[in-house]
Amino acid sequence: MSNRIKTGIIGATGMVGQNFIRLLANHPWFEVTYLAASEASAGKKYCDAVQNRWHMQGDIPANVKNMIVEDAGQIDRAIGKCSLMFSAVSLSKDEVKVLEAAYASKGFAVVSANSAFRLTPDVPVLIPEINYDHINIIPIQQKNNGWDKGFIAVKPNCSVQSYMIPLHALMTKGFKIKRLILTTLEGLSGAGYPGPSAFDMIDNIIPLIKGEEEKSEIEPKKIFGSIQNGQIINNTSIAISAHCTRVAVLDGHTACVSIEFDGKKPSTDEILDCWKNYHSVPKELGLPSAPETTIIYNDDPDRPQPRKDRDNGNGMAITVGRLRPCNVFDYRFVGLSHNTIRGAAGGAVLMAELLTAKGFIKS
């Protein structure tokens, strides 16, 4: 792309915002030209705003190191400086709704890592490999809100990434899913910084992540849903029961999944073939963040493991293992994804690439 799209980040000083900066440092389509955060950071150079709390590997990218951070609440400051805005603000859900809608009303394409709009019927919750066609709700969203160029698209909860694409691979081959029981083992970075204390986590597992089980049971139904009568209607044919736990792993969300099919049941070889040969629109479009292999099956009996497998495909691949019969349902498997890359900033960047390729975001 000869003219890279000027890009902003609101919430640029937090963990997800830092990941956006890291992933966009040498992006071929997007150029970071605007940073915003809280009033406390406004007016500072970015390097000063994150002094002693830059949590990424490597140094702050040179292109943003000395960029002045603006106040995210002063939306007019961003006008003319960017057209795409990644949102990673850390506010209450109601505050996020107001702020992101305000940016969209000013003509910005808002690609959000937040949960505020996930249940809104005219806002797509995108895993680009699965429900890429949900971007077609955007003109309806714009009409409903009286927006000209602006819109909002959001990424799903970080924990669903580890099993949604493997399930989609089976569904695309005609294998209908009836029920799922899953347990997630979620890395500490999913809680943000500083997250749970070492005293809480060492020699321990926390069997509650507030709101996580509800998200894991509801959001997949919207992602697997369809656009009908001007809104996204959930797929209610799949029953999901989720247990979500916090474990002493830095990065990586693991899911142990038991699956029951509705009707035709695939063989083990058919499931492995579905995963091995899975490809979708991001790869077909040549999107820069799309992994070369979307689903990687590791047949070692003790894999996947977060420390060994979370960075597969530059953190964008889903690693699966331990496929075997289930004594209660039909099959069980273990899935793993990198929660701060595929599950957060990287997944949002892939969304923006899809929206750009389809003409919804322009330079």
**Of the listed 27, 134, 168, 253, which one is catalytic?**
253
What's the start-to-end Cα distance of the chain, in Å?
Answer: 10
Instruction: Give the span between the Cα atoms of 339 and 247, in whole angstroms.
Output: 13
pLDDT per position as a tens digit, 29-57: 999 999 999 999 999 999 999 999 999 98
Question: Which of 27, 82, 158, 274 is labelled catalytic?
Answer: 158
Question: Which pLDDT value is given to residue 130?
Answer: 97
pTM of the predicted model, to two decimals?
Answer: 0.95
d(CA 58, CA 50): 14
pLDDT in tens, 250-277: 999 999 999 999 999 999 999 999 999 9
* SS3 readout for the chain: CCCCEEEEEECCCCHHHHHHHHHHCCCCCEEEEEEEECCCCCCCEHHHHCCCCCCCCCCCCHHHHCCEEEECCCHHHHCCCCCEEEECCCCCHHHHHHHHHHHHHCCCEEEECCCCCCCCCCCCECCCCCCHHHHHHHHHHHHHHCCCCCEEEECCCHHHHHHHHHHHHHHCCCCCEEEEEEEEEECHHHHCCCCCCHHHHCCCCECCCCCHHHHHHHHHHHHCCEEECCEEECCCCCEEEEEEEECCCCCCEEEEEEEEECCCCCCHHHHHHHHHCCCCHHHHCCCCCCCCCCEEEECCCCCCCHHHHCCHHHHCCEEEEEEEECCCCCEEEEEEECCCHHHHHHHHHHHHHHHHHCCCCCC
- Find the mean pLDDT for residues 315-334: 98
Confidence band (pLDDT; 50, 70, 90) for 61? very high
The CATH classification number of 5-157+344-357 equals 3.40.50.720
User: Would the pLDDT of 294 be above 80?
Assistant: yes
Q: Is the pLDDT of residue 226 over 70?
A: yes
Say whether 159-338 and 5-157+344-357 share the same fold: no
For 228-238, the pLDDT digits (tens) are 999 999 999 99
Active-site residue 158, yes or no? yes
- Does the annotation mark 338 as catalytic? no
CA distance 13 to 23: 14
pLDDT tens digits along 91-127: 899 999 999 999 999 999 999 999 999 999 999 999 9
Domain edges within the chain:
5-157+344-357, 159-338
CB 351 within 8 A of CB 123: no
State the CATH architecture for 159-338.
2-Layer Sandwich (3.30)
Residue 352's pLDDT is 98
Look at residue 192 in the predicted model and tell me its pLDDT: 87
